[in-house]
Amino acid sequence: MRKKWIAFWSILMKDMRAYYLKPPNISWGLLFPIAWTGMFFIKSGKGFESIPELLPGVIAISVLFGTTSMLAVSVTFEKKNRSFERLLLAPISLNLLIMAKTAGAILFGSVNAVIPVLLALFLADLSTISWAIVLPAIILIAIVSTFLGLFIAVSASEVFEAQTFSNFFRFPMIFLCGLFFPIASLPAVLRPVSYVLPLTYGVDILRGAITVTNVMPLGLDFLAIGSFCLVLFYISLRNIRRKWIT
Amino acid sequence: MSENTMQRDNVIPTACFQNALIEAVGLTKKFDDVTAVNKISFSLEPGEFFGFLGPNGAGKTTTINMLTGLTRPDSGTIRVAGQGYTENPKAAQYLMGIVPDESNLYPELSGFDNLCFCASLYGIGRHERRERARELLETFGLAEAADRKFAGYSKGMKRKLTIAAGIIHRPHILFLDEPTTGIDVATARQIRQRIADLHRAGTTIFLTTHYIEEAERLCERIAFIVKGQIVTTDTVANLLQPLQGSHVMLISVSGAIHDLADRLAVGFPGYTCATVSSGQVRIESAQPVSLGPLVRFIEEQNVEVTEARRVGPSLEDVFVGVTGIEANVLKKDADKKGGAS
């Protein structure tokens, strides 16, 4: 058990040092949520009282972009230069290896979510927010987005492909998950698509916890996003076994 | 290599491996319609130095990948230290060190950090891995570059560090996939020396290489692999035995005459003549080769002889005889990979 923990911790720390704690990524992690917050704030035109309404969307987008960008690129990069083989040949299970590789992205995404929350704390009254729901929701969104990034990474063979695939998933998700437009106001053909997007449930939980405007029961949201985590994790594991351990 | 470097944590005394350390039976691997490896069987005894020699695409890397768990065989079985391995390679991976054909460490980490990271994958604690990393950097002459990023290392330094990373957990079996391909002669010599030290210290070694001389110098037993099949496996001494009575002469000439070997074969029917390289012909015979008539014959073809020397039979002769592949095919393969050794 101790040996496995050492391997897990080392992979996590190596990824943190090699990818996540690099100055460009730290600045991206800081600037991106700030830019999103500013953009939504200006667009709302309502002043500081609109901040609680904006917060779920800004948190969700910050986490989504923070996790998917980094993981998809770092895994594809390591696969390309064959250093990922070193991990596959280590005496640790594939489950543990993937958990270690994704832990960095989950942490990075969760920290990204803290930035808009900290900004909002200075500008608005957040005393009514149910933090006991917000925190697990942030972590679940980070996990599901990370596993989506992993799914993309396993499908791509080049770094630029991973970036393209990431955007292919991310941008439709932003517009269809109920952030910009309520799902009920989307064209009927697009509404079912919204319900197969994990971010839809994450945003709904955050809405419920921050402004009590969720459209689905929170229990269902948690169940759905948890299911997405499991499904994406196992699909990625299966794809790695199929594609990378030939 | 110091004693410390070779002490193992997951010690399984060699005597515990009552049978073969690795036993591969009927391994086959296809990639789409191409059969990369076709029903090969072999075994490695504990402490043995085993070589896999063959041209590009012969199936050497696919075999290593199957033995190390990176590729699943379509059929056949592998046993490592008596345990079934084909279905669950993870259990045996503590025993293995792997040096792939490309230096695949992390470009953004320093040499020291790379070694520490590789040790940690085998569950080695912080203090121990730092100590081992320092020791290996010293052994491989990389101590001064310990804090430099791997990306800034020369090709030879990268290769040395990759080998160090493969042995930092003190494996029982070391797989070396073309360890000296693409690096300068001096570094290749240093690497061969370190590999020989590891073997002397008791590590079982599985080496794939393009270089016949390297295999002859280092290995105890060699398998020739061609088009996914093992053509022959034997000790170096046994492979050379049939040629002990043969006589070989290498003749260098100025200017390349592409059909000189053919002309010699016609002029001297008792000799086997082959072009070794542009400007060099190899004459082989069961009887002693008389130099005078040969030189006269060549000069009659308006070609000047610059050097003639008798050479003993080599593994190269065996390889050519057994596989039908000219030795320069292997050299060209190595050159394609950037070889210089």
Same domain, residue pair B199 and B139: yes
pLDDT band at A239 (very low <50, low <70, confident <90, very high): confident
| Structural domain range at position B303 | 245-312
As a dihedral over the C-alpha atoms of residue A96, residue A100, residue A106, residue A108, rounded to 10 degrees, the angle is 180
Distance from the A205 Cα atom to the nearest Cα atom in chain B, whole angstroms:
38
Question: How many other CB atoms are found less than 10 A from the CB of residue B118?
Answer: 27
Q: Quote the pLDDT of residue B333.
A: 66
Q: Has residue A168 got a pLDDT over 90? A: no
3-state helix, strand, coil in chain B (%, to 5): 40, 25, 35
Q: Alpha-carbon distance B166 to B288, whole Å?
A: 47
Q: What tokens were used for A93? A: 């299970």
Look at B106 and A83 and tell me if their CB atoms are within 8 Å.
yes
Q: Alpha-carbon distance B330 to B209, whole Å?
A: 9
CB-neighbour burial class of residue B251 (10 A; exposed 0-12, middle 13-18, buried 19+): buried
Find the mean pLDDT for residues B54-74: 89
CB B201 within 8 A of CB B1: yes
Distance from the A3 Cα atom to the nearest Cα atom in chain B, whole angstroms:
4
Of residues A36 and B166, the one with the higher pLDDT is B166
Find the mean pLDDT for residues A144-161: 84
CB A61 within 8 A of CB A36: yes
Look at A10 and B121 and tell me if their CB atoms are within 8 Å.
yes
Query: So what's the ipTM on this one?
Result: 0.83
Q: Has residue B1 got a pLDDT over 60? A: no
Residues of chain B with Cβ-Cβ distance to A82 below 8 Å are 100, 102, 104
**Which residue, A198, A195, A161, A236, is CA-closest to A60?**
A198
Q: Has residue B190 got a pLDDT over 70? A: yes
**Which residue, A239, A166, A177, is CA-closest to A205?**
A177
Same domain, residue pair B144 and B213: yes
Per-residue pLDDT of B106-146, as tens digits, reads: 999 999 999 999 999 999 999 999 999 999 999 999 999 99
Q: Quote the pLDDT of residue B331.
A: 66
Same domain, residue pair B228 and B263: no
Phi and psi (nearest 5°) for B42? Answer: -165, 170
Q: Quote the pLDDT of residue B311.
A: 78
Q: Has residue B10 got a pLDDT over 60? A: no
Among the candidates B191, B219, B240, a domain finishes at: B240
| Structural domain range at position A110 | 2-243
Look at B72 and A245 and tell me if their CB atoms are within 8 Å.
yes
Average predicted confidence (pLDDT) for chain B = 85
Give a yes or no: residue B21 inside a domain: yes
CB A98 within 8 A of CB A15: no
- Please tell me whether residue B171 adopts helix, strand or coil conformation: coil
Question: How many other CB atoms are found less than 10 A from the CB of residue A196?
Answer: 10
CB B153 within 8 A of CB B145: yes
Same domain, residue pair B234 and B257: no
C-alpha angle A45-A51-A53 in degrees, rounded to nearest 5: 95
* Total number of domains constituting chain A: 1
Q: Quote the pLDDT of residue B140.
A: 92
Find the mean pLDDT for residues A59-71: 84
Q: Has residue B243 got a pLDDT over 60? A: yes
Look at A89 and B70 and tell me if their CB atoms are within 8 Å.
yes
CB B43 within 8 A of CB B67: no
Q: Quote the pLDDT of residue B11.
A: 43
Same domain, residue pair B141 and B227: yes
Residue percentage of chain A with pLDDT more than 90: 29
Residues of chain B with Cβ-Cβ distance to A245 below 8 Å are 69-72
Find the mean pLDDT for residues B326-331: 66
Question: How many other CB atoms are found less than 10 A from the CB of residue A25?
Answer: 16
Among the candidates B207, B224, B240, a domain finishes at: B240
pLDDT band at A188 (very low <50, low <70, confident <90, very high): confident
Q: Has residue B12 got a pLDDT over 50? A: no
Give a yes or no: residue B53 inside a domain: yes
